[in-house]
Amino acid sequence: MGKLIVIEGTDSSGKQTQTEILYEKLKSQGIKVKKISFPNYDSPASAPVKMYLAGEFGKKANEVNPYPVSTMYAVDRYASFKKDWEDFYLEAGVVITDRYTTSNMVHQASKFTDPHEKVKYLDWLEDLEYDKMEIPKPDLVFFLNMPVDVAQKLMSDRKNKITGDDAKDIHEKDVEYLKMSHQNACDIAKTYKWKEIMCVEKGRLKKIDEISEEIFEAVKEIL
C-alpha cells in the first residue's frame, strides 16, 4: 500500500502550483510518485461535473442539491482510481492529488446551513467514497488557507480549466459562495485535523517557494 497526499484549498488557492512542485521534489529524490487532479476533465466520467459547473442543473451553486452533485464528483474519482492509479498505489507508490473527496467536504458541505444536516452529509459522503466505492483514504491533507479576496485576484489572471477561456464556473463567479466555502473549509480543516498552511501572513502573500517548503517539511514526516 502506498501513500495518498492531498493538496486541498478553495478556488485559486495554489493547489495545482503546489502539487506540481511537490511532485517534482519527490521525483528528484527518486521516490516513486504520481500526480493526479480532480475533477479529471480528460475523462468521460467528468461529463456530469462539467454540466454542473456550467450551470446546467441550476445557475446558483447553492441551489443545486449537494447529494447528486457529490455523487457525480465521486464517480469521476472512482473511474480515475480504477483506471489510472489503483495498481500504482497498491504497489507502494506515492500519489499526490490536487483535490479529492476533501473538495466535496469543502464545497458541497458548505451548502448546508443546519449543522446537523452538514454532519449527516459528511458521514454519508465518507461512507459513499471510502466505504462503498472503496477509494483510499488520504494519509495527509494540506489545506492551503488563501483568503477569498487574494484568491479572487489570482483567479482573475487565470483561464477556465474546462474551456480555456476567461469564463468562470458557477463556483468561481459567485463571491458569496466562495466566502461560504472558505469559511466551511477553515472549520472542516480543524475538525478533520488537516495540515493548515496560511498562505497570507500579516497581510503578506507568501512566496510560492515558502509555501512549498512548509508542505515538503510535513511530507518528509510521513514518507
Binding residues for ligand LXEULUCI (CB under 6 A): 11, 38-39, 53, 73, 99, 103-104, 107-108, 161, 171
Eight-state DSSP code of residue 17 = H
Minimum distance from CB of 11 to ligand LXEULUCI (Å)?
Answer: 5
Site string for ligand ATP, 115-154 (x = CB under 6 A): ---------------------------------------x
200 binds, among ligand ATP, ligand LXEULUCI, none (CB under 5 to 8 A by kind): none
Minimum distance from CB of 29 to ligand LXEULUCI (Å)?
Answer: 27
Question: How many angstroms separate the CA atoms of 71 and 69, rounded?
Answer: 5
Q: Among the residues of 86-174, which ranges form H helices? A: 86-90, 101-103, 115-126, 148-156
Q: Does 35 bind ligand ATP (CB under 6 A)?
A: no
Using a 10 angstrom Cβ sphere, with 0-12 exposed, 13-18 middle and 19 or more buried, the burial of residue 28 is exposed
Inter-residue contact 137 to 114 (CB < 8 Å): no
Q: Which of 79, 133, 186, 205 forms a contact with ligand ATP (CB under 6 A)?
A: 205
Q: Which of 4, 8, 13, 33 forms a contact with ligand ATP (CB under 6 A)?
A: 13
Select 123 or 149, whichever has its Cβ closest to ligand ATP.
Answer: 149
Q: Does 162 bind ligand ATP (CB under 6 A)?
A: no
Question: How many angstroms separate the CA atoms of 33 and 180, rounded?
Answer: 34
Cell numbers representing residue 159 in the block? 483561464
Task: Tell me how long the chain is.
Answer: 223
Q: Which of 3, 4, 6, 12 forms a contact with ligand ATP (CB under 6 A)?
A: 12
Q: Which residues sit at the interface with ligand ATP, rule CB under 6 A?
A: 9, 11-17, 98, 154, 157-158, 161, 199, 205-206, 208, 211
